[in-house]
């Protein structure tokens, strides 16, 4: 028996050493390459498709904008599917490659429709002229693209973060840097896409742009597959949805039971019974603690009692939800820059010096800013901030998100001012429109906002998530984007419906095909005011959120909890519970 235990221990040690030699930035480089190539086509399509819908599919302004935002919303919503599958059934690499093949198939279909005039509708002067076979082909290809792209985004960031051990002090710092470099690779790919691919699409032919996107995506996934020998691959585990359902079900069943005053009376397994990481008990959302009460007349079972760790997993996800909700408005603003601002640019002077720039290419300005700012942030700001705050990332993830929310509100206010200038000049002298460069102000400010918020959210959701829910939790970042895009479509329709009844012209703020007869500036300012109110709400929830202990701080926490456990029984072992203020090494929040 002892020989078997020794052999198992040796095998576990050998596996740990073998796994230690993998991962790190050597493995991440393959992920960075895919992110760059995939984003090259994705962002190019994201900023230019509204014109494809307008001029090739013959949708009107609001239908074009809503079609794109609904597509983007579906894409990011389906990232939850990729996150769930990679946590439960397949490892994250296999999940990314599976959904990547669906993405490539969809891009091939879109390329075919852009090439074949038989699959394109005639201009009928209505809000949408698409019907019959072309409509089926169009919506199937968009649906597959949303499914494939969303699935990849649900699994890829967690796959990259898995290459770093957050419990190792050195790798914990590298993990913080990983998300910055992931953002930089996305930005570099996007910069190429919104210049090269968009120019080809708008100046040569749409199908050539889609074809280049397809080829770039294929190259990216081939590179990802080549990197397999270098990856640390996490085996899928128990369904996170099932674990959440168990906690909620048992808590409701035990709703009439009193919560013990001493949290150590709550049910928890011993370290010998499970290798899962233990999470300390917290005093927030105490109703869920009822799920960890073991009735005197029952034995432990999945749907009879939950461990403190399992309850705390659900508490963590619950505490994340207000943070997620507080970033939705910002992503609604992002949707406007990718739809209405592109349509703005299409009515402006497209020449920057001697170069004629397609309107969808204007986001290259903030992308260039970000390509410069991300290395500066990584090499200069973070080391300086670390000396002051002692935080591995310089400032906390929630502080980064807060900076982004403020900048997004400023961006919308600036967008409204630029639209006033653009429309006044267009009405005064249509032959001399203002320069496209004016849009760079709103794009530039929002680009910096996105740099702070997106990276902050990815790092926050990954680090804070329980071990078996990393992909699902990271997908919350994309879920926020999804809700933002869907809300954008709702806002456009809602604002039009309200303003039609209250304006003298009986026309909505955003209507028809002529942007000069609309009041887009009022819509932008509405979003700016909404963003300010949203930021105040975010301040409350971010200050309420309690970070879980992680990285090097986990060891003293474990030692502290083990000293309180003593000799625990197997069926009702003491919880690794201590008061929040004592058990957790707090990080500063906003």
Residue environment code for 370-403, b if the CB has 16+ CB neighbours within 10 A, otherwise e = beebbeebbeeebeebbeeeebbbbbbbbbbbbb
**How far is the first Cα of the chain from the last one, in angstroms, to the nearest whole number?**
54
Question: Which stretches of the chain drop beneath a pLDDT of 50?
Answer: 1, 15, 18, 550-590
CB proximity list for 576: less than 8 A, separation 6 or greater: 268, 278, 279, 280, 281, 308, 309, 558, 561, 562, 564, 565
| Distance in angstroms (rounded) separating the CA atoms of residues 155 and 93 | 8
Q: What secondary structure does DSSP assign to 293-325, as a single string?
A: ---TT----TTT---HHHHHHHHHHHHHHHHHH
Single pTM value for the model: 0.78
Alpha carbon 320 to its chain's center:
13
Cα dihedral value 266, 272, 276, 279, nearest 10: 40
| Distance in angstroms (rounded) separating the CA atoms of residues 340 and 520 | 8
How many structural domains compose the chain? 1
CB proximity list for 554: less than 8 A, separation 6 or greater: 167
Q: Is residue 552 part of a domain?
A: no
Count CB-CB contacts under 10 A for residue 109: 20
Sign of CA dihedral 160, 74, 340, 347: positive
Q: Is residue 209 part of a domain?
A: yes
**Contact 576/269 with Cβ under 8 angstroms?**
no
Q: Is residue 355 part of a domain?
A: yes
H/E element, 352: strand 351-352
351-352/355-356 β-pairing: antiparallel
Residue 570, burial from CB neighbour count under 10 angstroms (0-12, 13-18, 19+): exposed
H/E element, 227: none
Write the DSSP symbol of residue 379: I
**Contact 547/464 with Cβ under 8 angstroms?**
yes
Q: Which of 207, 286, 289 is nearest to 250 (CA)?
A: 289
Q: Which of 341, 349, 360 is nearest to 510 (CA)?
A: 341
CB proximity list for 191: less than 8 A, separation 6 or greater: 364, 367, 368, 371
| Distance in angstroms (rounded) separating the CA atoms of residues 216 and 189 | 10
pLDDT of residue 533: 95
Alpha carbon separation from 349 to 13, 49, 337 (Å, rounded): 65, 20, 18
Q: Structure tokens of 290?
A: 């009822």
Half-sphere exposure of 241 (CA within 13 A, CB side): 9
H/E element, 356: strand 355-356
Q: Is residue 304 part of a domain?
A: no
**Contact 97/148 with Cβ under 8 angstroms?**
no
Q: Is residue 12 part of a domain?
A: no
User: What is the 3-class SS of 193-212, one letter each residue?
Assistant: HHHHHHHHHHHHCHHHHHHH
Domain enclosing residue 206, as ranges: 20-236+315-544
Q: Is residue 291 part of a domain?
A: no
**Contact 535/402 with Cβ under 8 angstroms?**
yes
Residue 12, burial from CB neighbour count under 10 angstroms (0-12, 13-18, 19+): exposed
| Distance in angstroms (rounded) separating the CA atoms of residues 84 and 469 | 8
Q: Structure tokens of 161?
A: 């973060």
Residue environment code for 442-466, b if the CB has 16+ CB neighbours within 10 A, otherwise e = bbbbbbbbbbbbbbbbbbbbbbbbb
CATH classification of the domain holding 166: 1.20.1250.20
CB proximity list for 279: less than 8 A, separation 6 or greater: 308, 309, 312, 313, 316, 466, 548, 576
Q: Is residue 285 part of a domain?
A: no
Alpha carbon separation from 259 to 269, 270, 400 (Å, rounded): 19, 21, 37
Q: Which of 409, 392, 430 is nearest to 535 (CA)?
A: 409
Q: Structure tokens of 495?
A: 């604002």
Alpha carbon separation from 342 to 194, 206, 448, 564 (Å, rounded): 12, 16, 19, 60
Q: Is residue 264 part of a domain?
A: no
Half-sphere exposure of 433 (CA within 13 A, CB side): 21
């Amino acid at each position: 028996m002892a020989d078997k235990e020794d052999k198992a221990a040796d095998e576990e040690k050998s596996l740990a050493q073998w796994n230690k030699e993998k991962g790190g930035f050597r493995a991440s480089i393959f992920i960075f390459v895919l992110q760059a190539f995939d984003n090259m086509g994705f962002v190019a399509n994201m900023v230019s498709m509204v014109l494809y819908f307008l001029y090739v599919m013959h949708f009107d302004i609001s239908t074009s904008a809503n079609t794109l935002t609904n597509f983007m919303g579906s894409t990011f919503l389906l990232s939850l599917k990729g996150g769930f599958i990679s946590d439960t059934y397949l490892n994250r690499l296999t999940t990314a490659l599976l959904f990547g093949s669906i993405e490539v198939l969809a891009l091939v279909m879109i390329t075919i429709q852009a090439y074949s005039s038989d699959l394109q509708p005639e201009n009928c002067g209505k809000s949408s002229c698409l019907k019959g076979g072309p409509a089926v082909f169009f919506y199937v290809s968009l649906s597959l693209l949303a499914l494939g792209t969303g699935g990849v985004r649900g699994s890829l960031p967690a796959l990259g973060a898995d290459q770093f051990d957050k419990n190792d002090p050195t790798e914990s710092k590298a993990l913080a840097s990983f998300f910055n470099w992931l953002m930089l690779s996305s930005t570099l790919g996007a910069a190429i896409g919104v210049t090269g691919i968009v120019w080809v699409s708008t100046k040569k032919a749409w199908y050539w742009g889609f074809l280049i996107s397809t080829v770039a995506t294929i190259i990216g996934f081939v590179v990802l597959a080549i990197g397999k020998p270098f990856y640390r691959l996490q085996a899928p585990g128990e369904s996170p949805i099932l674990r959440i359902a168990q906690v909620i079900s048992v808590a409701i069943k035990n709703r009439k039971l009193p919560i013990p005053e001493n949290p150590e009376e709550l049910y928890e397994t011993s370290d010998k019974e499970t290798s899962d990481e233990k999470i300390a008990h917290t005093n927030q959302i105490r109703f869920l603690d009822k799920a960890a009460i073991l009735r005197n007349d029952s034995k432990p079972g999945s749907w009879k009692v939950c461990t403190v760790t399992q309850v705390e997993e659900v508490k963590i996800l619950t505490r994340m939800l207000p943070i997620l909700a507080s970033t939705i408005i910002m992503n609604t603003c992002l949707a406007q820059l990718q739809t209405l601002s592109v349509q703005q640019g299409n009515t402006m002077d497209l020449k920057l010096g001697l170069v004629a720039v397609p309107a969808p290419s204007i986001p290259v300005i903030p992308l260039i800013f970000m390509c410069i700012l991300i290395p500066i942030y990584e090499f200069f700001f973070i080391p300086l901030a670390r000396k002051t705050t002692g935080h591995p990332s310089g400032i906390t993830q929630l502080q980064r998100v807060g900076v982004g929310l403020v900048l997004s509100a400023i961006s919308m206010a600036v967008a409204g001012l630029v639209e006033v200038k653009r429309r006044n000049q267009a009405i005064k002298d249509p032959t001399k429109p203002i320069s496209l460069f004016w849009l760079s102000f709103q794009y530039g400010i929002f680009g910096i906002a996105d740099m702070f918020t997106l990276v902050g959210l990815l790092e926050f959701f990954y680090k804070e998530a329980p071990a078996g829910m990393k992909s699902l939790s990271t997908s919350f970042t994309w879920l926020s984007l999804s809700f933002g895009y869907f809300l954008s479509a709702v806002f456009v329709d809602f604002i039009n419906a309200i303003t039609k009844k209250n304006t003298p012209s009986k026309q909505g703020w955003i209507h028809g095909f002529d942007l000069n007869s609309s009041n887009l500036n009022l819509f932008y300012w509405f979003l700016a005011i909404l963003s300010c109110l949203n930021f105040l709400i975010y301040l409350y929830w971010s200050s309420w959120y309690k970070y879980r202990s992680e990285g090097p701080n986990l060891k003293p926490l474990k030692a502290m909890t083990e000293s309180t456990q003593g000799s625990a029984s197997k069926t009702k072992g003491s919880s690794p519970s201590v008061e929040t203020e004592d058990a957790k090494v707090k990080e500063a929040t906003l």
